[in-house]
Structure formats: structure tokens, C-alpha cells
Amino acid sequence: MTTAPSDHDTDCSVDHPAGPLGWVDTRLPVVGVFKREYVRFPMPRSLNLLWTVGAMLTVALTLMLLSGLALALHYTPSAADAFASIEEIERRVPGGWLLRSMHMTGASLFVGALYLHLFRGLYYGSYKAPRALLWLIGMTLFAMVLVTAFAGYVLPWGQMSYWGADVAGKAIAAVPGVGPLLERMFLGGDHPGDGTLHRLFVLHFTLAFAVLGVVGLHIAVLHVSGPGTPSGRPPAGPSETLPFHPYFTAKDGLALVVFALAFAAVMFFLPSLIVEPANYRPANPMRTPPNIEPEWYLLPFYGVLQSVPSKLGGLLASVGSILVLFAAPWLDTSPVRSARERPVYRAGMAALVVSFILLGMAGARHVQGVWLYVGQAATLYYFVHFLALMPLVSHREIAAAKRAP
């Protein structure tokens, strides 16, 4: 005859903490799971500093969520009061100027670190099996962050905010048939106004917490599939791994110190890098700024949008430049993962980075004059890289692997 375990029974095979926490851990092994996944979790010895960007992203996201919650307590999402509420935050709310500076700086550095994280994945083949699901979740996060960032850019309701929403509405209106309806749904009327701000405020607030949830899923999948390596080859055995703590926590900690110094330098000494002066003027529907442009991190996609003469074609190319990233696991089927061992692909990655930067520069110059040709050439190579270079190089490397003895 067996009896049910009492509250005093413990599993001696598991290292539970003492005291009340140990009592909880025997029934809900939070501490045990944390130790397994974040203390003893084996990490490849060969990971370089690019693998510390994830820690930077986590800290920056937390900082933006906390500062955003504080800002939302004082923000008014209406065309008549939005700009005034931002001014009140800056001038009258204790520490409000610091909260807003932290939020804006965090957004710019977060997306910058996200681009670096994305480059690392493309360069080292992190999208290949068994990490295809991890890549798809990461790309979903990337798209969500861009939408969240755009919504946040409109909320201050300055000149650039207003006209940025207007340009986005006109781009949506280019969709055949349903475009005008989608534009009205987006703007909440015929032009940017109260409806636009209400929609984007709810979108910005909701997506911010949705991003946090998807980040948790992203990390969970990472712990199932395991991290990649710079060589593209998994560790051969325990001798090629180290526990996450203290080795990689120390490396992440050092990277976070450098990140914090860069964050403080931009926020206090170089705010002009992330702030558009025209956005310090209230929105004026009767006065169009000479140069309408989004934040720097959206400029490459804005460059794609403007490089295509057709409005619909530009919209499709701009959206397609993000969607094509989702297809990377199926476009690149080579057995070789890392660009370190793929000279042709490595050269292609260098050209991709150059084309992406040129697209941003072309977008900042409204793709006028010679920048029209630069933007079109960069857009062309961007898609050639994914739709032609990746499959061709994969075919060549698969054939070489079959010929190898």
C-alpha cells in the first residue's frame, strides 16, 4: 500500500535551496530550472562578442518598457493635446526629460543592436536547421519592433510625426482595391488626427508587451535548439563548452558596461544623433516640411520605397525586403553554415551591408538626383543577394560536398 507524499517529503536527488524557497521549489521547480538553463547551461567556448548583443537587447527592452509606462501616465493621445503633453513631460514632470531621453535613446540603440544581431545570424548561418524556428520567431520580433518604433515616432505629434503618418497612409492607399479603405482604417479618417493617435498609441502600447512575450518564446526556443557557433559546427563534446555562469555572465556584463557608456554618451552629449529638430515643432497640416523622413533605423526601407517609381511597386518592395528575410532557411540550403568558410557568400554579405547602408543614405536624401540610381542599384542587389546568390552558392556547395571523398 502506498501513501501520498506529505509536505515534509523531499526529493533528495535534486539540489533544492533551503527554507521557504526550497519548499516552493520542490513543488514548482523555478530555482532548479533557472540553475539548469541560466547557470549550468553549456555554451560553446568559441562564442565571440557578437553573442553578447542579446544581453544588450534584453536590458534595453526592459528599460524602454519601464520608461514607456511612466511616460504613458502623462501622455494624452489627441491631436490637440499630444504635443502639449510631451512638452509638459519635458518641462514639468519631475525627471520627465530624463525618462523621455532614456526612451528615445533606448529605441535607437535597441534597433541598432537588433540590426547587429540580425547581421550575426545571416553571417554565421544561424537560420539553418535546427534553428529555423528560432530564426522565424526572431524575424517576427524584428517586424514587430519596426512597427512599434514607427508608432512611437508618430506619438509626439511634431511636424515629422504628422507627416510621417501622412506618408505611411498614402503608401497604404496604393494597395489596389482596398487601399483607400485601409488608409481610412489606419488614419481614422481622411487625414492624420485624433483617430490616428488613438490607434497608434494602442498599437505601440500593446506591441511593446507582445514583443516582451515573443522575446520569452525566442529565448525558450534558443535553449531547446542551442546556440550557434562562429565556425558553424556544434561543440564536439563537453570539453568544448563552458557553463553560462560565471564565464558568459562576465562577458555579457562587460558588454553591458560598454553599452551603458555608449547609451549615456548619446543621451547626454550627442542627442542630435537621434532627434529630428523639426519634431520639436507642433504638427501643422498646412505646412509641409521640405524634407520628410523617418527615424534613421527606418531609412533603408524608406529608401526601397522611394527607389521604385510605382507607389504600389515601392510598397511591395519595401514590405518584401523584410519578408524575404523569413525565407532565408529555405533559400540557403548549403551544408556549410558560417560565412568564415564560404568566401563567395562572405563577399556577398559585405556587399549586402554596403547596399543596406546606401539605401539608408538614399532614403535620407529622398532618392533624388544620383541617389535615385544608387537607391535602385542597392535595392536590386538586396533582392539578388537573397533570391539569387543564396540559392546559387548553396547549389554549388552542395555539389562540392557530393564530390568530396
Sign of CA dihedral 107, 113, 114, 119: positive
Domain ranges of the chain: 29-292, 299-405
3-state secondary structure 32-93: HHHHHHHHCCEEECCCCHHHHHHHHHHHHHHHHHHHHHHHHCCCCCCCCCHHHHHHHHHHCC
Q: Measured between alpha carbons, how far apart are the two ends of the chain, in Å?
A: 63
pLDDT value for 8: 44
Say what the pTM is: 0.92
**CA nearest neighbour of 244 among 3, 100, 42:** 42
Q: How confident is the model at residue 68 (pLDDT cuts 50, 70, 90)?
A: very high
pLDDT tens column, 127-178: 998 999 999 999 999 999 999 999 999 999 999 999 999 999 999 999 998 9
- Concatenate the DSSP letters of all residues of 222-256 into one string: HHHH----TTSPPPSSGGGEEEIIIIIHHHHHHHH
| Predicted local confidence at residue 288, as pLDDT | 85
Q: What are the residues whose beta carbons fall under 8 Å from the beta carbon of 162, sequence distance 6 or more?
A: 154, 192, 283, 284, 285
| Backbone CA torsion sign across 85, 90, 92, 94 | positive
The answer on whether 117 is annotated among ligand-binding residues is yes
The tens digit of pLDDT for each residue in 350-377 reads 999 999 999 999 999 888 899 999 999 9
The answer to whether the annotation marks 16 as part of a ligand binding site is no
The predicted pLDDT at position 23 comes to 82
Helix (H) or strand (E) holding 11: none
103 is known to lie in a ligand binding site: yes
Rg (CA), the chain: 24
Q: Which of 137, 138, 327, 131 is nearest to 227 (CA)?
A: 131
Give residue for cell 544620383: 370
Is 245 marked within a binding site?
A: no
CATH of domain 29-292: 1.20.810.10
CA 123, 384, 312 angle in degrees (round to 5)? 120
